Amino acid sequence: MKIEYFDDSGSSRGYYSTANRVNDLTGKEWLFWTRSVITKVYPPNIQHRLRQQHGGQKPPELCADLIKIFTKKGERVLDPFMGVGGTLIGASLSGRRALGVEINKRWIEIYGQVCRLEGMDELDTIAGNSSEVLKDLLKNKIDNEFFDMILTDVPYWNMDRAERSKGKFKKAGEKAREVKKSKLSVFNSEIYSTKEDWLLKIVKIIELSSKLLKPDRYLLIFIGDMYYKNSYHCLSSELAERVSRIDGLVWKANIIWYDVSKKLHLYGYQYSYIPSMIHQNILVFRKEK
């Protein structure tokens, strides 16, 4: 059966099919979100200045849009790397429930402050290392503790030590300019000795999370690629390849989010091409078997 849906201003949203098992979107809306690139602008809001202390926060409205593509109202989302709560706020904005796990209590406190200032209900959070917390959840789980979606944003490899230039460019023949630590360094509590170590730790937590996901549902991972020590690190494809090896998970899409807020850089000007990283990848997996 098809039902016509209307938005708050009375305009037609298109037709929703009662056979839709994935989300509450109409056919027209579903088609819109099949785009593999998201160019929609998400202005800095919802206590952005407060959340910005984190440095790796994601726009809650972007998270809400993703949650609406992969869940129905009232369903439950897990974020094992919650930071200051982009996923959790996105879940609240879209009428879903969520649980976030975060190793650094400071970020959970900021999430709590944001909720109080915005008059939002605080969703469930657990302070701790996901590699332990998720094992406990798995041990004690009962049927209604499974999740309908996982939406997460993994900590970056090597960002604790990655350095960036001061924003000025080096001309041909000039000595390298002074560098400073990446702002992203502030949010990483865990140290990853090598890229392999980073991959192993992240994949372990993704694997544990996937065991808490209901069959046929989706797991989404935000991951930025990196330019480091003179070469491009396609972390998204490296991570996707590893996650695809997890039993039951099938890689379905790589959505590119064009982050219009990112500044352009002239690193390498006149002597070497270095890209300005203004996109993030959103890897989409489905639990099938």
Ligand X SMILES: C[S@@+](CC[C@H](N)C(=O)[O-])C[C@H]1O[C@@H](n2cnc3c(N)ncnc32)[C@H](O)[C@@H]1O
Range 12-41, binding ligand X (CB under 6 A): none
Per CB under 6 A, does 86 bind ligand X? yes
Cβ proximity to ligand X: between 206 and 249 the closer is: 206
Cβ proximity to ligand X: between 131 and 165 the closer is: 131
What is the token pair recorded at 119?
Answer: 């008059």
CA 170 to chain centre: 33
Out of 71, 94, 104, 209, point to the residue binding ligand X (CB under 6 A). 104
Q: What is the DSSP letter of 89?
A: H
- H-assigned helices in 218-263: 235-244
Per CB under 6 A, does 190 bind ligand X? yes
Per CB under 6 A, does 56 bind ligand X? yes
Per CB under 6 A, does 153 bind ligand X? yes
Per CB under 6 A, does 187 bind ligand X? yes
Least distance from C-beta 265 to ligand X, angstroms?
21
Per CB under 6 A, does 107 bind ligand X? yes
Cβ proximity to ligand X: between 129 and 237 the closer is: 129
Q: Which residues contact 4 (CB under 8 A, 6 or more apart)?
A: 12, 13, 14, 15, 16
Residue 120 · residue 88 · CB < 8 Å: no
Per CB under 6 A, does 257 bind ligand X? no
> Quick one: angle between helices 195-211 and 235-244, nearest 10?
50
Out of 46, 47, 54, 235, point to the residue binding ligand X (CB under 6 A). 54
What is the token pair recorded at 266?
Answer: 């002239």
Q: Which residues contact 63 (CB under 8 A, 6 or more apart)?
A: 86, 87, 89, 90, 91, 151
Identify which range of 10-18, 115-123, 128-136, 211-219 contacts ligand X by CB under 6 A.
128-136
What is the token pair recorded at 6?
Answer: 């209307």
φ and ψ at 269, to 5 degrees?
A: -50, 130
Least distance from C-beta 143 to ligand X, angstroms?
25
Size of the site for ligand X (CB under 6 A): 22
Kindly list the residues in this chain that would bind ligand X in the complex (CB under 6 A): 54, 56-58, 81, 83-86, 101-104, 107, 129-131, 153, 155, 187, 189-190
